[in-house]
Structure 1
Amino acid sequence: MAGEELLELKFRLTDGTDIGPCKYEPATTITALKESILAQWPQEKENGPKSVNDMKLINAGKILENSKTLAESRVPVGENPGGVITMHVVVRPPTADKGSEKPQSDSPKPNKCACSIL
């Protein structure tokens, strides 16, 4: 893999702060990126992710799949030579105890449309 260029990525959090930039090989999986983000997550921030499944990575408007690599995810390899690619990190909000919400989730939600076509 000596001929492949490293991708310089930074990860933008919802409050506008960044993690990185760091360099990664195009063969790096999205799961590995999420593990790196989890390890570098600022401890002073509330409601941080507890696992890689609690976050989503978005690049160019596309949610990246955990099992794919950067190259397979069509991250623009080499299109921005020397530039930093920014990916957005979305954290799933913490869920309440499942036992306390069970009565609500058992009842199906009615489909109600409030659209008005003029």
Structure 2
Amino acid sequence: MTARARLTWNGAAALRGTRASAVRGLRLAAEHVLEVSRRRVPIEEATLERSGVASVDEEALTAGVSYDTKYAVRQHEELDYQHDAGRTAKYLEGPVTEEAGTVEAIIAAQVRRALRG
């Protein structure tokens, strides 16, 4: 007995779905880093914390987290400033480094879902 199967490969659709999943993974990963970093942002009136945003460049498949106040960079880099408990300088650099494995897992999970179809 001979079994036959016919497979039609739609590579363009598969790539579109994978790319869309990668974008979704990047967005979720950036939001994760933003949330972790918000817990460390020096806080006086919460202006710096509220200025944090996560963004994704879908064309370049890159994501970023940023804070937008006049003093965001200074607060991030000035290691001698005194902060409330749990708040610190390097409030973004630390989470980016520490959460790298989680970021990879978030993106990989989204891409795997697309490949399972």
Using the size of structure 2 for normalisation, the TM-score is: 0.30
The structure with higher relative contact order (CA 8 Å, sep 6+) is: 2
Q: TM-score, normalised by structure 1?
A: 0.29
